[in-house]
Amino acid sequence: METRTSQAKSSLVGPAPDRPLVIVSNRLPVTVLRGPRGLEGRRSSGGLVSALEPVLLRHGGRWIGWAGAELRSGEDVWSGDRYEMEAVRLSAAEVNSYYHGFSNRTLWPLFHCFVARTRFNRGEWEAYERVNARFAEAAARSAREIGLVWVHDYHLLLCPQFLRAAEVDVPIAFFLHIPFPPFDIFRLLPWDREVLRGMLGADLVGFHVRNYARNFLDCVEKLLGVRVDRDAMLVEYGERTVRVGAFPIGIDFERFEQIALRAPRPLSPRREKVILGVDRLDYTKGIPERLLAFERLLETHPEHQGKVVFLELAVPSRFEMSEYRQLKRRIDELVGRINGRFATATWSPVRYLYRSVSAERLAALYRDADVALVTPLRDGMNLVAKEFVACQVSHPGVLVLSYLAGSAETMHEAIQVNPYDIDATAEALHRALTMDEAERRSRMVALRRRERQYDLGAWLDDFLRAATAGPATLAPPSEQDFDRWLRPFLSRYPLVLFLDYDGTLTPLVDDPRRATLSAEAKRLLGACVRRRDTKVAIVSGRSLEDVKALVGDDRLYYAGNHGMEIEGPGLAPFRHPDLPLYQARLGELARKLETLARPGAWVERKGATLTFHYRGVPREEREALVARVREAIVQSGFQARGAHLAVEGRPPIGWDKGHAVLHIVRSLYGPAWSERVRVVYAGDDETDEDAFRILSGLGITFRVGRADTLSAATHRLPNVEAVHTLLRWVAKRPAVRPS
């Protein structure tokens, strides 16, 4: 059984947070219409409203969302009894591109694994970004003196990141109501990384079931290279640790049960058994497949003919989209065909209602049904299965449930089916219709107990407690982590380990002249290079002489000046052949920059390149100074590149740390080096990105530092200590025998 919901059944809406909160969702709990007498509000009846309104009624706060009408300024905030509502204004074009377009034609089908129905359109993506930013702006304005901002669902995946950028200083939580797809489906989205970064703006990212949470962790690890802890469900992102969790939503069980107990009962006993289907009319719900399974039942078990009816209740949904209109036509045809084929003068096998029904009528239908046929082709959770169970207050019926619904992860006592398998679903229906009462009762009792216990209140308690639990931290990378990342890749090959110096082997310090290597780092480097199967190269922006002196071990390889000068054991010393061409001009540039130096700024001459340091210059003077330094560098025909509180001037030679890596491995192992040796690279600097890009697909690369900086590296490490752990693993790993 799913045990995430640790607190059993509680009062509707639990303890945390004790301050008001802001809920952000695509739709507000009212739909506003502009009628002849001005604006009129109609209460929305969706599941999201009934699930979330109790929190705002209890704690107060504000609900931010789209009202469904084009509003003018001044018309967009209302106060209710306990909370306020604020409408985000969207133009008709934005509704088209953000809502009908990117939300419902890209994310909805893709996240439900309907790849062939998914459309990718850059214009719609850009509108989605803009609208998400607007929702976040509205939420950020309201996010003062509150306990939490809680963002909902696939329409607003980028909203948490925009809130974070707006420096909202209360916890930000996000909950996804639909599935999160597996990595190989998710990566089809051209904006896959952007979406993940958007979601990771939150402190807590919640899903219905563990499987979706695991898919998310896979995607985050593989696409962003960030560290995740699968057991504790944590992601290291920037300077924060994001919690990820499974929170299976429940229903207001008691309310459904009470309505079912009170709802009028049929006057005479029914002649036929009833199979019930209840859905929003959506292609994910598997309505045609369900009709086909019922038809197959009548073919293969003709004894049910005349004795069973299938009642399908479908609420109209997204009728503006042609695929939904097509689906409706297909269902109409199937209903017609099955009735035409099997109906008699006194019996029609399928009854089909295309409308919404009242809560009371719905509860009575659930109560009196013999079988609920809930067979979505994919569904985040599916509340219908839970509502059916809550309303089973008379004779026990049977739940036939698709294993592709999130609810199947906990509703074990249902008869679970593959909804694509028409024969198997027909057989499951036969089994349900002929199941004896003792078995039906045992199954229903267990299903009801669980849903009563893990109801909507328990879900809210559980989520809000996690959302306001305070910061989490991921354990630092361990040798086991490196074992997992590196051992399969290294296999039985020798290793060349490339390391940047400042910020990678030693912490960044204010004065680079004081960045000495610790005794422990020296010892670890020594332990690595003592191995016959391992070579270590230091690749730095410092001059070759400087970095060699700082490390002080001549068993290592050194690439200075971003790789323009290289030396090491068994390697012919390398100086880029074009360097002499720039020597005189570099001297002139150094003199020019020296005229710009002042207290707290100085020029470092590094032979092939130079660096203008300005770390001691007062903050307010830096911007103007950097602009002048850059201008001088560019005017002299050199390239200016930003570094840590410094600007570097480099000759315009197409050569960087990536080229240096290739030069070293090719010189040592020949052009087919990738068949003889494995390469691992760790660096913390923008200039290391050149090496990460060149090594993509060829090596394993680690970007050291904040995990939310963009990087081409395959993995992230938080700090210098983690690099030392890498060295410890390299020094200790099983030896490779020379082949």
Residue ranges in 347-376 that form contacts with ligand ADQ under rule CB under 6 A: 356-357, 362
Q: Using CB under 6 A, count the residues that bind ligand ADQ.
A: 19
DSSP per position, 508-526: --SSGGG-PPPHHHHHHHH
415-417 and 273-280 beta bridge pairing: unpaired
Shortest distance in whole angstroms from residue 6 CB to ligand ADQ? 20
Cα distance between residue 5 and residue 564, in whole Å: 58
557-560 and 565-568 beta bridge pairing: antiparallel
Q: Residue 315, interface with ligand ADQ (CB under 6 A)? A: yes
The helix-helix angle for 437-453 and 383-390 (nearest 10°) equals 110
Q: Residue 47, interface with ligand ADQ (CB under 6 A)? A: yes
Closest CA to 483 of 725, 121, 130: 725
Q: Residue 311, interface with ligand ADQ (CB under 6 A)? A: no
Handedness of CA 697, 699, 700, 702 (dihedral sign): negative
Query: Which one among 252, 379, 409, 688 touches ligand ADQ, defined by CB under 6 A?
Result: 379
Q: Residue 249, interface with ligand ADQ (CB under 6 A)? A: yes
Q: Could you tell me which stretch among 87-95, 383-391, 431-439, 727-735 binds ligand ADQ (CB under 6 A)?
A: 383-391
What is the side-by-side strand order in the sheet with 350-353? 350-353, 308-315, 273-280, 371-374, 398-402, 415-417
Cα distance between residue 681 and residue 311, in whole Å: 63
Tokens for 605? Answer: 């001459």
Note whether 249 and 459 are within 8 A (CB).
yes
Query: Which one among 289, 370, 387, 689 touches ligand ADQ, defined by CB under 6 A?
Result: 387
Note whether 456 and 705 are within 8 A (CB).
no
Tokens for 513? Answer: 């002249």
Long-range contact set of residues 260-269: C-beta below 8 Å, sequence gap at least 24 = 260/363, 260/364, 260/366, 260/367, 260/390, 260/391, 260/392, 260/393, 261/393, 262/360, 263/360, 263/361, 263/363, 263/364, 263/367, 264/364, 265/364, 265/368, 266/368
Residue 641: DSSP 8-state: E
Taking the least distance from each CB to ligand ADQ, the nearer of 164 and 386 is: 386
For residue 514, what are the CA distances in angstroms to 517, 525, 584? 9, 20, 30
Shortest distance in whole angstroms from residue 108 CB to ligand ADQ? 9
Shortest distance in whole angstroms from residue 85 CB to ligand ADQ? 21
The helix-helix angle for 359-368 and 253-262 (nearest 10°) equals 80
For residue 108, what are the CA distances in angstroms to 117, 155, 189, 198, 436? 9, 9, 12, 17, 40
CA angle 74, 77, 80 (to 5 degrees): 145
Taking the least distance from each CB to ligand ADQ, the nearer of 286 and 683 is: 286
Cα distance between residue 666 and residue 664, in whole Å: 6
Shortest distance in whole angstroms from residue 354 CB to ligand ADQ? 8
Query: Which one among 203, 279, 427, 455 touches ligand ADQ, defined by CB under 6 A?
Result: 279
Q: Residue 434, interface with ligand ADQ (CB under 6 A)? A: no
Phi and psi angles of residue 431, each rounded to the nearest 5 degrees, phi first = -65, -40
Cα distance between residue 675 and residue 190, in whole Å: 32
Taking the least distance from each CB to ligand ADQ, the nearer of 355 and 514 is: 355
For residue 356, what are the CA distances in angstroms to 45, 359, 546? 10, 9, 76
Draw the binding track, 8-37, toward ligand ADQ (x: CB under 6 A; -: no contact): ------------------------------
Taking the least distance from each CB to ligand ADQ, the nearer of 78 and 114 is: 114
- Write a three-state SS string for 579-606: HHHHHHHHHHHHHHHHHHCCCCCEEEEC
**Quick one: which H or E segment has residue 236?**
strand 234-237
Q: How many CB atoms lie within 10 A of CB 281?
A: 19
Q: Residue 383, interface with ligand ADQ (CB under 6 A)? A: yes
Shortest distance in whole angstroms from residue 276 CB to ligand ADQ? 11
Query: Which one among 280, 430, 431, 592 touches ligand ADQ, defined by CB under 6 A?
Result: 280
Draw the binding track, 49-78, toward ligand ADQ (x: CB under 6 A; -: no contact): ------------------------------
Q: Could you tell me which stretch among 159-167, 188-196, 379-387, 652-660 binds ligand ADQ (CB under 6 A)?
A: 379-387
Query: Which one among 313, 389, 626, 677 touches ligand ADQ, defined by CB under 6 A?
Result: 313
Q: Residue 525, interface with ligand ADQ (CB under 6 A)? A: no
Handedness of CA 357, 363, 367, 371 (dihedral sign): positive
Query: Which one among 181, 380, 397, 718 touches ligand ADQ, defined by CB under 6 A?
Result: 380
Q: How many CB atoms lie within 10 A of CB 573?
A: 9
Taking the least distance from each CB to ligand ADQ, the nearer of 279 and 684 is: 279
Q: Could you tell me which stretch among 191-199, 229-237, 273-281, 327-335 binds ligand ADQ (CB under 6 A)?
A: 273-281
Draw the binding track, 158-187, toward ligand ADQ (x: CB under 6 A; -: no contact): -------------------xx---------
Taking the least distance from each CB to ligand ADQ, the nearer of 311 and 643 is: 311
Say which of 370, 500, 546, 656 is annotated catalytic.
500
Taking the least distance from each CB to ligand ADQ, the nearer of 279 and 502 is: 279
Q: Could you tell me which stretch among 132-140, 220-228, 272-280, 550-558 binds ligand ADQ (CB under 6 A)?
A: 272-280
Q: Could you tell me which stretch among 301-309, 331-339, 382-390, 693-701 binds ligand ADQ (CB under 6 A)?
A: 382-390
Shortest distance in whole angstroms from residue 314 CB to ligand ADQ? 6
Shortest distance in whole angstroms from residue 529 CB to ligand ADQ? 56
Cα distance between residue 431 and residue 676, in whole Å: 61
Instruction: Confirm whether 533 is a catalytic residue.
Output: no
Q: Could you tell me which stretch among 156-164, 381-389, 444-452, 639-647 binds ligand ADQ (CB under 6 A)?
A: 381-389
Query: Which one among 55, 335, 381, 458 touches ligand ADQ, defined by CB under 6 A?
Result: 381
Residue ranges in 642-701 that form contacts with ligand ADQ under rule CB under 6 A: none
Q: Could you tell me which stretch among 16-24, 276-284, 432-440, 465-473 binds ligand ADQ (CB under 6 A)?
A: 276-284
Taking the least distance from each CB to ligand ADQ, the nearer of 27 and 548 is: 27
Q: Residue 384, interface with ligand ADQ (CB under 6 A)? A: yes
Binding site for ligand ADQ (CB under 6 A): 47, 177-178, 249, 278-280, 313, 315, 356-357, 362, 379-384, 387
List the catalytic residues. 500
